[in-house]
Amino acid sequence: MTRLPASPSPSAARIVLVCGLSLFIIFGIRLSFSVFFAEFVLAEGWSSEAAATIFSLNMLVFAVTAPLAGIALDRYGPRPVFGLGACLMAGGLWLCSEARALEDLRLAYGLVVGAGLGITGLGPQASVVAGWVGPARRGRALGIAFAGTGAGSLAFVPLANGLIARYDWRSAYLALALVCLLLLLPLMTVGLRRPPVRARTPSRVAQATGNWRALLRMRSFWALMLVGLTALGPLRSLTVHQVALMESAGVERSLAAAVVGIAGLLASLGFVAMGWFSDLYGRTSAFSIGAAGLLGAVALLLAIQAGASAGLLFAYAVLYALGESTRSSQSTALASDIFQQQGLGRINGLVGGMFGLGAALGPWLVGRIHDDSGSYAGGLLLVAAMVLVSLVAFVMAGQGAKGRKVPLPQK
């Protein structure tokens, strides 16, 4: 069996690039939901809780399909698996363009698009990148690939907002469906291929990965699942509610969308920088810095409710980007470091599933608290609590697996 090279090969570099471009499209579409959400609440007159159930159902389906996609990736490779996911996204977004009621969107965006996002999401794509790039450079490789998520919001959030303003939200969904069909589908079915076979060693972790009973007895596994549950829940709570929150504080929707776009651009740079940082100084250090940034972003949103200013909005974009750029990439990097010998698709699929579960519960809970209290303050405090729990769990996962830092290969 062949070992992963110390330096990425041209094929590995191509895989990272294709995954980055794919995530640019996928997350651009996914993160644009915040402007659709504002339209549903302010124009259609649906409650925050009811509109948030569309995204929450989407994330619940994501949570179920991501682990299945990871197992399928280990068996069949990325082309057929991701091809199916891209088709589901295109079909679901087309159904969204035909929706006439909230229930139609729950079916189209919640179920169909949710399944497509789960199959093509961060966990499954991280397993492909991790299979091509060794541990010493895995952080920066995942950072480069995941940079597409931030850049996607920079492009697609203003695009969706412009389409909604000029036409309507149904036409905007139709345009996004065509993007998936004409760009995402060929990109993922032609540009990706199965990772090379990895050398296996009879380590305790490797044996446990192949043995579910042993895996379930590992403290690091459960800590990692808790990380997944609380890593993206806070982020997606802000993703769904940030535009509506800013608009309720007197910020024009176009300006709020621009702030989200700026945060996406900064997150793209942050993914690369923090990936490099984690390869040098450890995953826990990088994750901790991002957690501090996200807590700062929550504090600024509380301040914006009392009165928005250009300085506060830009500072929010910077701190949100810092949080965004460390949550998913460092979680999947740590998972791949601990369980790198086998089952990368399975373990990252499980982490991705927990991403989806947290992202389903967070926005719904924040919406429910807002509807009951008339304020976002309680929901933002819940977001801060989730950030703190994720940080403790990440430290436990790293210590339990002795995965504080992956050593660079000896030359």
- Tens digit of pLDDT per residue, the chain (411 long)? 344 444 556 688 888 899 999 999 998 888 788 788 878 877 777 777 788 788 778 888 988 898 888 888 888 888 999 999 999 999 999 999 888 888 888 899 999 999 999 899 878 888 888 888 877 788 888 888 888 887 787 788 888 888 888 888 889 999 999 999 999 999 998 888 877 754 444 444 444 444 566 677 778 888 888 998 998 888 888 887 888 888 887 888 778 878 887 887 888 889 989 989 988 888 899 999 999 999 999 999 888 877 777 788 899 999 999 998 888 888 888 888 887 655 677 787 888 888 878 877 888 888 888 888 888 889 899 999 999 999 999 998 877 555 434 443 333
Domains parsed from the chain with CATH numbers: 10-197+204-400 (1.20.1250.20)
Instruction: Give the pLDDT confidence score for residue 247 in this predicted structure.
Output: 84
Number of other CB atoms surrounding residue 234 within 10 Å:
30
Instruction: Give the pLDDT confidence score for residue 400 in this predicted structure.
Output: 58
Instruction: Give the pLDDT confidence score for residue 408 in this predicted structure.
Output: 37
Instruction: Give the pLDDT confidence score for residue 178 in this predicted structure.
Output: 95
**How far apart, in whole angstroms, are the C-alpha atoms of residue 232 and residue 68?**
19
Are the CB atoms for 156 and 32 separated by under 8 Å? yes
Are the CB atoms for 261 and 154 separated by under 8 Å? yes
Instruction: Give the pLDDT confidence score for residue 87 in this predicted structure.
Output: 95
Instruction: Give the pLDDT confidence score for residue 10 in this predicted structure.
Output: 63
Burial code (b: 16+ CB inside 10 Å, e: under 16) for 119-142 equals bbbbbbbbbbbbbbbbbebbbbbb
Using the Cα atoms of residue 123, residue 126, residue 127 and residue 128 in order, give the sign of their dihedral.
positive
Single out the residue of 151, 169, 149 nearest to residue 161, CA to CA: 169
Instruction: Give the pLDDT confidence score for residue 409 in this predicted structure.
Output: 37
Instruction: Specify the residue for token string 């729950």.
Output: 106
Are the CB atoms for 23 and 328 separated by under 8 Å? no
Instruction: Give the pLDDT confidence score for residue 94 in this predicted structure.
Output: 95
Instruction: Give the pLDDT confidence score for residue 121 in this predicted structure.
Output: 83
